[in-house]
Structures are given as structure tokens and as C-alpha cells.
Structure 1
């Protein structure tokens, strides 16, 4: 029988800060996992490198072209409204708090996440593996869970918003809303600062009572701390995450016994970079007809704008002028200080990446090979993404896995017509007027917030050499292979 496997996601964990925490002695559990296994300091996020997109890529082993989660904020052409997953409380208020909560808790998994793309929980549930998960954006599995009424806050939520059951792993614990067992653990309704402790409490209970074979152990508070205090303050929040891992390990008999009996994968979904300047995209399009938030709907307009931290999208709603307005919108966006890249499709099988350094056209298939082994044809200015070609190899150190990530994002059915990536130190202001001055943020194609940490032991390949460029999509195959479960991998 396979060892139990714990997949831990420490939201936004920056490799340099993990290494600093280990060196300072404040992350002994993470050190033990690293020392017993393999460590990757440049695991590439999805694009946009925001949490919903990256969480979906981790859970499905695919990119946005297949899982169909395009960003933190996006425009539904089908419903003619914005979808807001909680960029900030002020943004949620702009679109309607109840609507935002419903989209985040229910619709993201039940409606927006592609049904034909199975999650790790669905794959393992179908194989009879005992699955478990703590509060994580992507929880879709095969087991039905009803809203809990164990706390006064949960009873209020149940009476007003959260009435419908969800499908999740066999054991699901989600922000005090769903709890498959009475553990005595409280998550304070998923409030930042309490979420890691809730995961640690639940994880220890699950270990003590032998209730799982696979557990997704979610530790999101590092992201919140980094947004507030900057990425270089992560040593403190990584140490706090390590203490919750230690609770799980202690329940399993201590570090040596636990790692003898369990396989571990620990990863970031993205990284963070320091933010100093803001980009107000709505001001750049002040002369355009922009669809604006109007409660659960949106006003009419020729375009819709979806800012999401260090990324943004522009949707062309005037169908008869779609190609023309997309090209014009990309040019307008690039005149805005802080906008680094503007990406769009020029044809069904051709993408365009433009920056102040030039314009690059690209398409799948061709003579150039990237670090993932995929082939591309390119035409135009390689300088647009600071790329070089060496012996038929396309090298893009500033924008890791650039063409693969951009093409996946551009071909996502729910994505905008123009995708934007901010330069270092810049962040797009969300629809609620919020951003993170002096703190950290993420979302761009740039290496500064795209490369996160990944480490494992007791499973997976013996060294990091299995891939020249690791990505989030490589984790689900490790999980599936560990349990001998067939899967369809992403590229």
C-alpha cells in the first residue's frame, strides 16, 4: 500500500524567504522535508499568477486553457456580468458581497471550473483513495457535504447565503462552512490570520484518527502577511506555517516517524514582489465606453476591464469590432506607466506579445524549443520578452515559460481579448480602489512573482532534474503516480 501523501500549499511562498527561514532555524519541518528529498527554487506559476488560476492549475494539472479559471476578476460574456473572487473587500462590495461569496464558494468549483477537467480529489475519489482537504479554493470532489450549523456564525451564514451542498473530497473542512466531522477546530469563518491554525488543528485531528490517505493541507496566511508587509517579511509567516506543519507531524509521532510513514509535497502557488506604484486602468480608458459594475449585472459598454493585482484583462464586448478594438486597447494600455506587456490573439493559432521593447508574434509548432520541450514559431522582436535563441532553444529568463503560459491564458475560453502584465513594482488598482502600496503582490508574467518554491520527499522523482523547468502542472502527476492512478496531464 502507498504511503499517505500530504500536499501542502503555502500561498505565495518565495524561495529566497523559505531558504532564509530554514537558515534561521525557524522552519525545522520544512528543512527536514527538503533535506530528505528534492527542492526546486523556480517552480513556475500559471499566468495570470493570481491564486484562483494557480490553485486550479495545481488541482487539475492543467493551464487556464483547460481548467477555464481566467483570473481573480473576469467578465462573463454569457451572463453579462463581472465575476469577482475577492480581490479585496471593497471590490466585493462593488459587485455585491453576496454575489462575490457565491461565486467564490460555490460557482468557482461547480460552474466555472471545467467539468471535463478532473481535480486531484475527483481522480483519487474515483480510485477509492481516502481524500481530505482543508480550506482551499479548489475543493471539487465526489462526496456531498452540507453546510455545518455547529457555530452561531455558520448558522447565520446557512440562513442567509450558504444553503446548498457542495461536492468535495471525502473529508472536507472549509472555513467553518463545511465540516465533514466535528473536530473541535474553528476557522473564524476563514478570516486571514486564522486559516493556517484551522488547517493545523484539522490536520492533527485527521492524523490522530487515521482518516485520510491523501490530504491537501492549505496554509494561505503567508500570502496575506506578504501583501501587508512585503515579500521580505515572509520569514515570519513561513515560520508560522511551519508550526502548523509541526502540529501535523507531532500527531504522527514526530518528524522521523512521520516522514518514514508519509510522503510530503510542499509548494507555493506563486511568489510575491514588492509594490510601490499603482496603475489605474479605468483612467487609461476614460474615453472608452466601459461596462461598469452595477450590482449583480454590469452597465453596457464596448469593453469590460478586469484588474487583478499585477495582471489585468480587457474584454471587447462590441463583437462586430472585436479584433480592431482589441488591437487598439493593447496600444492604449502600453502607453500607461507600469504596464509591461500587452498580449492578444492575432489569429486563431497566433498570439502577439507587445511591450515598449517591440512586438513578437508566435504560434505553437515550429523550429524553436522552449524549456518545457514545446515547439514554437516566432516572428518579430524577441526583445519584447527579453528572449534569446541559443542552438534552437528559446530562452526567456525574465518571463519563465513565457510562450506556453501566455498561449494557455490567451486560449482560455473565459479570458479577455487583451491580457496585461505589470512591470516590477507596479500593481493594478482593483474595482474597489484597493492595492498594496509598500507590500507584496503577484499576478504578472515576470519572474519576480512567478517563481515559487517546491519540495518533496517520499514520492516523486529522486531529484529536480526530471524537468528543466518545473511548473504547477507537474504536481498532480506526482500525486496520481504515487497512488497508481491514471490521469491526463497538462502541457
Structure 2
């Protein structure tokens, strides 16, 4: 289970509206140049955030930033998730606007009838220790976006690039786009695992993916092994702040905060 809660801050959505008769990702964006002067869109994704504990946190004064966004935007708690409620499947639906039968990412663990093997994107540390860990890494980092995600179904990053608009993905699990990037594995991990130190992928113009790809060079404290090599909220926040300070925030940014999911699985949604 990895339910996703989105804070749809309509106050930021200048020059953009969703057309309910089209796919989720096909935004009615006017033909503006890539350096548009309107307000940029930030899609903030907080893994496993749910309405009841969010409201409780706000009442107790523990979520001032989210409270501010709700007060200055529009909050719609009655969301229905795509099925199954697994992060990779939900995220694929969010970024392509279609369900799993079309985008071809059915869950965290599934059987590939073409390759005649199980696909694992990482379903917990205990499971990962029992199976082929290098293959899990390759499936999650490369195969998911570059092979398994249906190439006939465009992501919002690809749609925007086709319209001449730049976008960014910060720690988003689904990030396929039109710009080539190099993911760099720490040298000591590559040597000990036999994995390639560099992997070519495609993504939006600005791609941050934990220690593998980052914009801010001053990231050492947030990419250490005990902080999941950068797959944490501190890394995501620092990357976002860096883009803003450098005045490089593009028309659309997906900003993913993963850490809440760990707490929810261990402690429950409250």
C-alpha cells in the first residue's frame, strides 16, 4: 500500500486548467515560450499522506506549510486512487493520465511474460535481501522508465517538451522525458555490486534522483547510506530550494517527498 496525496494548489496554476474530457496529463496550456513569465506549476506529492491524519496535524499546529497551501488554494479530499494502490502504478497513472492496462506498470512486483521472470521494483528491504539485488536496482532505476512504461503512452514531461516547455522531476519514481541524462552510481557501490557506474536515461530537462542525479552540488549530508542515498524529504526540499534560488524553476515541477511512507508503514497513518 502506498496511497498518494496531492496538494492541488490552484493559486499556482496560472495559465493552466485541466480538461476533464482528456487524459489527466494533457493540460490546456497556452502556447507560451519555454521562458514563460506566468507562475510555474509545482505538483507536490507526499507519499501515503491521508486526509484524516493531515487534518489532525493541522489542528494541532504541526503542518503549517500544508495548512497555508490549503488556505490559499483548493483542497479536495475525496480522491479515488487508481488500482492497485502501489506507488509505481499510481505515479505512472498520474504522469500519463491512463490506467495500468495502458501504461503497462501493474504493480511493485509482477511477472513479465516476455522475459519469463518476476519484476521487482523494491517491495521492502527484507524482500530485497532474498532476491537478485542488482536486478532489482536495474528494474527500478532503468527498466521501469525506459522499458516497462509504455512508450506509446507519453508522460507529462514528454507532452510538455513537445509543446516547447521545460519541466523538472525531483525524486519522482516515474520521470521519463525527452532529455538524455546520466545517472551516476557511487563508485564503491558499483565496484562491490558489479553494476555499471553510469546509466543513460531520458527525463525532463531538470532531473534529480537521489544520489544518482542532483542539481545542488552541496548534497553530501542528504545522500548518505543511512538516509537512503538521497531518497528522503531533506534531499527533495534542498533540490527544490536550489532550483528556486538559481531562478531555474521551469513551468512544471514534480516534487516528491518519500519519507512519510516509511513512517506510515511502521507506525500507522496517524
- Taking structure 2 as the reference length, the TM-score comes to 0.79
Quick check: which has more Rg, 1 or 2? Answer: 1
**Deviation readout 1:327-368 (Å, 9 max, x if unpaired):** xxxxxxxxxxxxxxxxxxxxxxxxxxxxxxxxxxxxxxxxxx
1:197 to 217, 225, 234: 234
Within 5 A, what are the aligned runs for 1:300-449? none
- Determine if the alignment matches structure 1 residue 215 to structure 2 residue 247: no
Aligned to 2:28: none
Aligned to 1:430: none
Q: Distance in 2 between matches of 1:15 and 1:199?
A: 22
**Deviation readout 1:157-198 (Å, 9 max, x if unpaired):** 45532432110111111111123x343124336618961000
Q: Distance in 2 between matches of 1:193 and 1:44?
A: 30
- Determine if the alignment matches structure 1 residue 177 to structure 2 residue 209: no
Aligned to 2:243: 206
Aligned to 1:107: 143
1:164 to 199, 205, 217: 199
Aligned to 2:187: 155
Q: Distance in 1 between matches of 2:152 and 2:224?
A: 34
Note if contact 2:171-2:231 (Cα within 8 Å) is conserved in structure 1: no
Note if contact 2:112-2:119 (Cα within 8 Å) is conserved in structure 1: yes
Q: What displacement does 1:89 show?
A: 2.1
RMSD: 1.8
Q: Distance in 1 between matches of 2:163 and 2:171?
A: 23
Q: Distance in 2 between matches of 1:93 and 1:133?
A: 29
Query: Counting strand residues as a fraction of each chain, which structure ranks higher?
Result: 1
**Deviation readout 1:203-261 (Å, 9 max, x if unpaired):** 000000111222111001111110011111xxxxxxxxxxxxxxxxxxxxxxxxxxxxx
1:44 to 64, 72, 80: 80
- Determine if the alignment matches structure 1 residue 12 to structure 2 residue 48: yes
Q: Distance in 2 between matches of 1:10 and 1:198?
A: 14
SS of equivalent to 1:176: coil
Q: Unpaired runs of 5+ in structure 1?
A: 233-491
Note if contact 2:167-2:253 (Cα within 8 Å) is conserved in structure 1: yes
Q: Distance in 2 between matches of 1:203 and 1:193?
A: 13
Q: Which one has more relative contact order, counting CA pairs under 8 Å at least 6 apart?
A: 1
Change (3 A) 1:194 1:60: closer
Q: What displacement does 1:125 show?
A: 1.9
Note if contact 2:104-2:150 (Cα within 8 Å) is conserved in structure 1: yes
Note if contact 2:167-2:204 (Cα within 8 Å) is conserved in structure 1: yes
Note if contact 2:157-2:178 (Cα within 8 Å) is conserved in structure 1: yes
Change (3 A) 1:94 1:109: same
1:74 to 94, 100, 110: 110
